[in-house]
Amino acid sequence: MKNVFIETSRVMEFRQAASVVRDTVKGQPGFMVAWGHAGRGKTECAKEYAVRTNDAVYVRVLESWTPRAMLASICNEINGMRPSRVDYAKRVIIEELDRTPKILLIDEADRLIIGNIEHLRDIHDETGAPIVLIGEPSLYGRLSSKRRIWERVTRVVEFGPVTDEDVVYFGMKACALKMLPDAATELVRRCNGSFRLLYHMMVEIERKTKANKLKEVSLELVESVPNRRLAPSPEKEAR
């Protein structure tokens, strides 16, 4: 299977929204929120955007990050430094972003405590640097309940479940396989909206097509693949 990046409608929406906040004038709100359940492609989208954009900084949040750890990691991505004090790290980040404007992509931001998000708000207010917070649904709820943070959010992108079109495109680009409509629909049902689960199922399907010298994927072929990774959908779990 080829390692390909799937250009979904959510990816296009992410890029468009990021372009809008990048053009925000200093002093105006420039936060963006990209949210969705696990496995929906948020992280791959953010990483791809960081690679293709020379003024983007990608940082993945670690569990239980203190303000010092977060600011030191951001600083390290910007200029290679890891200051040991919160005030110094924040000052260095602000000076660097004033000198060379960048967009900050903060992945798994649902792990951040509100205090850390307030530090990001300070950085945004002082520099005008756009901040993109990426995370699971709890992030949206937490931010929308904090008025002074939510007032700075100008773009929201929801990463919804995998669609039939995504499955067809993935099969073509990653495996050079034609996905029949009913087969694509069944794969959407089986993967519960997750690109991650879709990938694992496509590995099995590609193996079967190669063994049987097939160039298209039928419903019967999909049904012949054991659904070993079947799990409740995120929407059901949230109820």
CATH architecture of 164-225: Orthogonal Bundle (1.10)
pLDDT digit string (tens) for 216-225?
A: 999 999 999 8
Q: How confident is the model at residue 235 (pLDDT cuts 50, 70, 90)?
A: low
Cα separation, 47 vs 191, whole angstroms: 23
Please, where are the H alpha helices in the chain?
9-22, 42-52, 67-79, 86-99, 114-127, 137-144, 147-150, 164-175, 181-191, 195-211, 219-224, 234-238
* pLDDT higher than threshold 60 for residue 115: yes
- So what's the pLDDT on residue 239? 45
Q: What is the largest CA-CA distance in the chain?
A: 63
- So what's the pLDDT on residue 1? 83
C-alpha closest to that of 14 among 168, 162, 155? 155
- So what's the pLDDT on residue 228? 60
| Domain 9-158 falls under CATH 3.40.50.1370 | no
Q: How confident is the model at residue 237 (pLDDT cuts 50, 70, 90)?
A: very low
Residue extents of the structural domains in the chain: 9-158, 164-225
Q: What pTM was estimated for this model as a whole? A: 0.88
pLDDT digit string (tens) for 4-15?
A: 888 888 999 999
Cα separation, 76 vs 46, whole angstroms: 18
* pLDDT higher than threshold 60 for residue 233: no
Same fold for the pair 9-158 and 164-225: no
Q: Which of the two residues, 148 and 58, has the higher pLDDT score? A: 58
Query: Given the DSSP bridges, would you call strands 153-158 and 31-35 parallel, antiparallel or unpaired?
Result: parallel
Cα separation, 110 vs 113, whole angstroms: 8
* 3-state SS, residue 129: coil
Q: Percent of the chain, pLDDT > 90? A: 80
* pLDDT higher than threshold 80 for residue 229: no
- So what's the pLDDT on residue 226? 83
CA distances from 103 to 84, 127, 191 (A): 23, 11, 33
What type of residue is 161? P
